């Protein structure tokens, strides 16, 4: 929007997205790319509060944050009007900004059934953003994006693909599924390949080829002889699609073919398999 064009990218994104929600008393939760003292000051003018992680080198933060060395469990906080910023050391140093919190600590139960002290701003942030951070973490395990991919639209497409797969897995688990994330992805890949939507491997699209060979009338016939050979042969499409114990492709020739599909096939059982099974 034109009224926000003079702001930086992250600030402009926030203001554009909440434009219709201004002056309604909402609380906005942001990650460290979007959080800054500048954003907080602007949102407060629009009666909108904000809570989020913030990068320690953001303009407007106390200079002390850049060199501060905290021990585990230590906290350092600064307050300016409604804007509070703090650093807290857990496994690593976390910098937070909030317009509704102070440096209050609360007791929380850890995974080992022990109690530890955490800043309330951290607890509330995790409660609000936990699902998003969990999603980002899981997407990072099996990314389809490539670090050297230069085309931005390809990055967007791959990210949307990853997000769609993760969303499908969440729904699967919600409905009682027992597969792990990686097992679910493998099953999905297998199913897509069965449906003929995998990588193209022939001149004719696989889905079209499947329709042709699995329908209609097909009869075996002898391979037409060529040259001086008494008998001609072709590679069997079914046999040659398999591998032996060494992982190498099986090579087997046959005197029979399907003239309609233009492939060599052993009379039995390959001819029947080829024309009745989508995957063999």
pLDDT(198) > 50: no
Q: Which residue has the higher pLDDT, 142 or 37?
A: 37
Reported confidence tier of residue 248, pLDDT bands at 50, 70, 90: confident
Mind listing the pLDDT tens digit for each residue in 4-29? 888 899 999 999 999 999 999 999 99
Q: List pLDDT tens digits, range 142-161.
A: 888 777 777 888 888 988 99
List C-alpha distances in Å: 92 to 86, 95, 164, 230, 261: 14, 10, 31, 78, 63
pLDDT at 122: 92
Of 74, 117, 64, whose CA–CA distance to 94 is shortest? 74
Look at residue 202 and tell me whether its pLDDT is greater than 60: no
Residues 84-99: what's their mean pLDDT?
Answer: 92
- Least confidently predicted of 94-98, 128-132, 181-185: 128-132
Q: Is the pLDDT of residue 197 over 50?
A: no
**Domain spans in the chain, listed from the N-terminal domain onward:** 9-129, 216-276
Q: Residue 228 to residues 108, 123, 257: CA-CA distances in angstroms? A: 87, 84, 20
Q: What is the pLDDT of residue 77?
A: 92
Contacts of 263-268 spanning 24+ positions with Cβ under 8 A: 263/234, 263/237, 264/223, 264/233, 264/234, 264/235, 264/236, 264/237, 265/220, 265/236, 265/237, 265/238, 266/236, 266/238, 266/239, 267/220
């Amino acid at each position: 929007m034109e009224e926000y064009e003079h702001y930086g990218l992250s600030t402009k994104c926030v203001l554009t997205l909440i434009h219709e929600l201004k002056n309604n008393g909402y609380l906005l939760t942001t990650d460290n790319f979007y959080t800054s003292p500048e954003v907080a000051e602007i949102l407060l003018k629009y009666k909108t509060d904000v809570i989020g992680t913030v990068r320690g080198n953001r303009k407007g933060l106390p200079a002390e944050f850049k060199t501060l060395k905290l021990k585990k469990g230590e906290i350092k906080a600064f307050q300016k009007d409604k804007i509070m910023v703090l650093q807290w050391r857990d496994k690593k140093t976390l910098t937070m900004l909030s317009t509704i919190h102070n440096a209050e600590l609360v007791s929380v139960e850890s995974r080992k059934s022990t109690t530890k002290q955490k800043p309330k701003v951290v607890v509330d942030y995790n409660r609000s953003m936990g699902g998003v951070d969990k999603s980002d973490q899981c997407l990072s395990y099996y990314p389809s994006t490539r670090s050297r991919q230069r085309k931005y639209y390809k990055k967007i497409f791959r990210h949307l693909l990853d997000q769609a797969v993760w969303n499908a897995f969440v729904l699967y688990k919600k409905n009682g599924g027992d597969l792990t994330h990686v097992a679910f992805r493998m099953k999905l890949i297998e199913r897509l390949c069965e449906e003929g939507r995998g990588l193209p491997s022939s001149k004719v699209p696989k889905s079209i080829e499947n329709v042709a060979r699995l329908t209609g009338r097909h009869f075996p016939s002898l391979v037409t002889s060529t040259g001086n050979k008494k008998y001609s042969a072709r590679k069997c499409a079914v046999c040659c699609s398999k591998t032996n114990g060494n992982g190498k492709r099986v090579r087997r020739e046959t005197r029979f073919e399907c003239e309609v599909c233009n492939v060599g096939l052993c009379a039995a059982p390959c001819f029947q398999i080829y024309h009745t099974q989508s995957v063999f």
